[in-house]
Amino acid sequence: MQAVLYFEEMRLPAELLSCLLVFLLPFAPRKPHFKRKAAVGYAIVVLFSLLYFPIFLNKETPRFRVFTVFWYVLIMLLAMVYARAVFVISRCDALYFTISALLSQNIVYCFYHSFIARVLWPQLRMHLPFYILGAALVTGLLCVLLHRLFAGSLREAQGVLLEDTLLTFSNLFVFCVLVMTVLFFYQGAFTYRVSVYDTMAWLSGVIVCAFILVIQYSVVRGVVQIREKSVLENMLRSSEKYYEMSKEHIAIINRKCHDLKHQLKALEKAKEEDRADYIHEAERSINFYQSLVYSDNEALNTILAEKGLFCQEKKITFRCSVDDVDLSFIRLPDLYAILGNAIDNAIEYVEKQSDPDMRAISMRIERRGLFIGIQVINPYKDAPLPSGELPRSSKEDTANHGFGMKSIRYLAEKYGGMMEYSAEGGLFTMQIMIPVK
């Protein structure tokens, strides 16, 4: 019987982490050495649960029983730490899916451990191998069902669901307390017979947990749909801007080609002593195009050449340095959005400056150990930014203020990276760090 008690204490974190992995595997990017970290962390959390016995065994007085609640809260927090140790995930998202895993685990508890093993077939607990096998089977079947229901929407969320703020985390924590209160009620209905409906408490417990999971699934779907709608609206708003920019770029190229054509005609008729000047002017035009080649990456050159042409037309100095970096793991639309938004934000600011020294942008793309670093710097003379505040946009569309910066941060986090910015020392600096895949 002692072995059964040990198993029943260990199966809580084992089932909890199994359900948690079902939610996080399709949702969040994995950290380096994922398999080793996941296995070792899983074992540590499960074995940690055995400390329950020296702390609580034979101390189940009504007053002391209250403290067991905090023990299960601790197990839940360990599951959240486990999630952040093996996945690239925010605190709020980790707590959100830990709650989902707790609800899922409680479905297994109500259906298998409470109903089948205590009411329907009490002798099952006396046969430990079959008891363990049954628990593994029910948990596995539930995990398969959860994967089929949630995986598609979780993949679409692309590793970011909730805004990682103190307010969001506090609201989630309150929600977690409410969930755990409900779960402990149904556990008490079986263990201590406090409910007159205890014979059906397992079923209502399953229904309540399933109902809350459906609500959580609706939140995931709602966030994905809102995000897709925002991206689509932003693309539609941006289409006219990029159309105008493309027309300007074509006009620049047409003027350069027109100038080259006239220079070649003039060169045919020029006197010998004047030919050197025409040749020098033609070389300047050719060098202009050569300066738009930044690396061996054709897609990267295309993006940077477009921005370089625009800056050249607006008399903005654009300096760019690109190391030999492999960006092939970043989808081309995402790469364009990251670099395009970063440079566009700088252009928007320096374009308003009359001082030629303020009309300058520098970009650096380099390999930094296991990361690719993208740095964009432009002069900045406004007041320092309060912590966490985005630069104010000069655009009239204030409803979409800061969308470019938020898009960069979202895409950086999508690839397991981060985006930071600072405005000090007369410079605005944006740093984007993305781990190499």
Q: What is the pLDDT of residue 256?
A: 65
Token reading at 218: 């609706």
Is the pTM higher than 0.95? The answer reads no
Q: Tell me the pLDDT tens digit for each residue of 213-232.
A: 888 888 888 887 787 676 65
* Last residue within a domain, chosen from 232, 258, 275: 232
* Last residue within a domain, chosen from 232, 250, 278: 232
Compute the distance between CA of residue 99 and CA of residue 9 in angstroms, rounded to an integer. 19
Q: Where are the beta strands (DSSP E) in 229-385?
A: 317-322, 360-368, 371-379
Claim to verify: residue 219 and residue 301 sit in the same structural domain: no
Q: What is the pLDDT of residue 155?
A: 85
Claim to verify: residue 48 and residue 183 sit in the same structural domain: yes
- Tell me the one-letter amino acid at 111: F
Compute the distance between CA of residue 77 and CA of residue 81 in angstroms, rounded to an integer. 6
Q: What is the CATH number of the domain that holds 382?
A: 3.30.565.10
Task: Give the number of C-alpha atoms closer than 13 A to the C-alpha of residue 328, restricted to the C-beta side.
Answer: 5
Domain count, the chain: 2
Handedness of CA 23, 25, 28, 32 (dihedral sign): positive
Q: Is residue 421 a part of any domain in this protein?
A: yes
Q: What is the pLDDT of residue 398?
A: 39
Q: What is the pLDDT of residue 122?
A: 82
Domain of 360, in residue numbers = 296-435
* Last residue within a domain, chosen from 182, 199, 232: 232
Claim to verify: residue 223 and residue 300 sit in the same structural domain: no
Q: What is the pLDDT of residue 141?
A: 94
Claim to verify: residue 122 and residue 38 sit in the same structural domain: yes
Q: Is residue 368 a part of any domain in this protein?
A: yes
Q: What is the pLDDT of residue 152?
A: 85
Question: Which residues of the chain register pLDDT less than 70?
Answer: 1, 57-67, 185-200, 228, 230-294, 383-403
Please list, in sequence order, all residues whose beta carbon lies within 8 angstroms of the beta carbon of residue 409, skipping any fewer than 6 positions away. 418, 419
Q: What is the pLDDT of residue 373?
A: 95
Give kind and range of the element (H or E) at residue 38. Answer: helix 34-48
Q: What is the pLDDT of residue 239?
A: 47
Claim to verify: residue 62 and residue 178 sit in the same structural domain: yes
Compute the distance between CA of residue 20 and CA of residue 8 in angstroms, rounded to an integer. 19
Q: What is the pLDDT of residue 173?
A: 85
Q: What is the pLDDT of residue 25?
A: 93
Output the CA–CA distances (angstroms, integers) from residue 337 to 171, 238, 266, 304, 343, in the order listed. Answer: 32, 11, 43, 12, 10
Token reading at 314: 């607006």
